[in-house]
Chain A
């Protein structure tokens, strides 16, 4: 590669690689095979198309009680209730897989608040003592989620599983038709009112957070153990607050979201 070509020559060479790739792939028409698979799949029983909210779902799975009833299908069915608020769904059932790194935060890519707002509305807690978020992240999965990280400090104890003070996650969603179902497990789910918004506070047990993939397929990734969480809807946003904080502090922080 001559060093006189600079960026333009490099870009040309990169585009040349595309031709190599096409040559390697050759020509192939997949349409018949795809249509055949779709017809075969549709024939016996048409797969249910999940709702748009389901596609955006962040799933909190309470594992403790589920493991005790997993061997009893009838009992499990009886407690397999779902709490759903905005884009968040709470399931009382075993996680799809046990997360290997339960303390790992998978928040997407680091970004800035201004850039995050290019993707949609973002609200920030203004409660006294919080200051500005220490980190802002954007995740294109789950319909595009923005995460605000506040490090632990004198007023924000480090959460047991994540080590951070407060995590605020905001998911784009329709915020309509909030359905409520409650857990009957060690994880308590309490409905709460935050100003004009409604939400649910989860505490009292371990639960896992999973993202579905962007297509809504049942592929779960990046499960991790989470602590107390307050989930609420605000207009088109579904917001999760996570931290080792009591309900009243969580509600106060939620009320300060601007």
Chain B
């Protein structure tokens, strides 16, 4: 049990991010806790030698999906975070300003994406998962991840481009 506690400590931040991205920040900790309990019950299904992180995050994603009450929660949570002035790391005031302006627009564009695209973008960029890991976590074929990510980025770019020109 102590060894499992160590595993929880090691992967909990990734797990909380995953849950927050899928189900929202407000339920992320409950979902993460439930996922770790469920993962422990199902450790026998984990193939020894296989990477633990994507397997665990797939469990987290599944629990979080069950708790997701409406689409777009995570982006709204991010917007709230931005509005409240979350901690940011920037190398210069110019960078900070650019980042803040850009982040706002990116959040809005993300919010406008269909859920299937948002989940893939979130896994790749917010969770920093590889394509293979994203496929495992979301239960998709790797090619689907690739094509969805490409379409999602195209849409984001298109939307941001329009916003800049409209402005």
Q: Give the interface centre of A139, A140, A215 by most chain B CB atoms within 10 Å.
A: A215
Q: What is the number of residues of chain B that contact chain A, defined by CB distance less than 8 Å?
A: 72
CA distance A110 to B1 in the complex (A): 41
A109 touches B42 (CB 8 A): no
The answer to whether A21 has its CB under 8 Å from any CB of chain B is yes
B1 touches A15 (CB 8 A): no
Q: Binding site of B, secondary structure by majority: helix, strand, loop or mixed?
A: helix
Query: Per a CB cutoff under 8 Å, which of B87, B106, B135 touches A14?
Result: B106
Q: Give the interface centre of B6, B20, B77, B144 by most chain A CB atoms within 10 Å.
A: B144
A1 touches B163 (CB 8 A): yes
Contacts of B163 in A (CB 8 A): 1
A215 touches B125 (CB 8 A): no
What residues make up the interface of B, taking CB atoms closer than 8 Å to A? 1-2, 4-6, 8-9, 12-13, 16-17, 20-21, 25, 28-29, 32-33, 36-42, 44-45, 58-59, 62, 66, 74, 77-78, 80-82, 86-89, 98-99, 101-103, 105-107, 110, 121, 125-128, 135-136, 138-144, 153, 156-157, 160-161, 163-165
A22 touches B12 (CB 8 A): no
Please give 18 more A-B residue pairs, beta carbons under 8 A apart, in addition to A21-B74, A217-B42.
A3-B161, A3-B164, A3-B165, A13-B102, A14-B121, A17-B110, A21-B126, A25-B13, A29-B12, A31-B5, A35-B4, A35-B8, A108-B140, A111-B143, A138-B144, A140-B138, A215-B45, A217-B38
Q: Which residue of chain B has its CB nearest to the CB of A146?
A: B141
Least Cβ distance of A99 to chain B in Å? 17
Give me 24 A-to-B residue pairs in the complex whose CB atoms sit less than 8 angstroms apart, sorted by A's number. A2-B164, A3-B161, A10-B160, A17-B125, A18-B127, A20-B88, A21-B25, A24-B20, A28-B12, A30-B8, A30-B33, A34-B36, A37-B33, A50-B44, A55-B42, A115-B141, A115-B143, A138-B140, A213-B62, A215-B38, A215-B39, A215-B62, A216-B45, A217-B38
CA distance A21 to B25 in the complex (A): 8
A216-229 vs B, Cβ < 8 Å mask (1 yes, 0 no): 11010000000000
Q: Binding site of A, secondary structure by majority: helix, strand, loop or mixed?
A: helix
Q: Which residue of chain A has its CB nearest to the CB of B106?
A: A13
CA distance A5 to B105 in the complex (A): 14
Contacts of A138 in B (CB 8 A): 140-141, 144
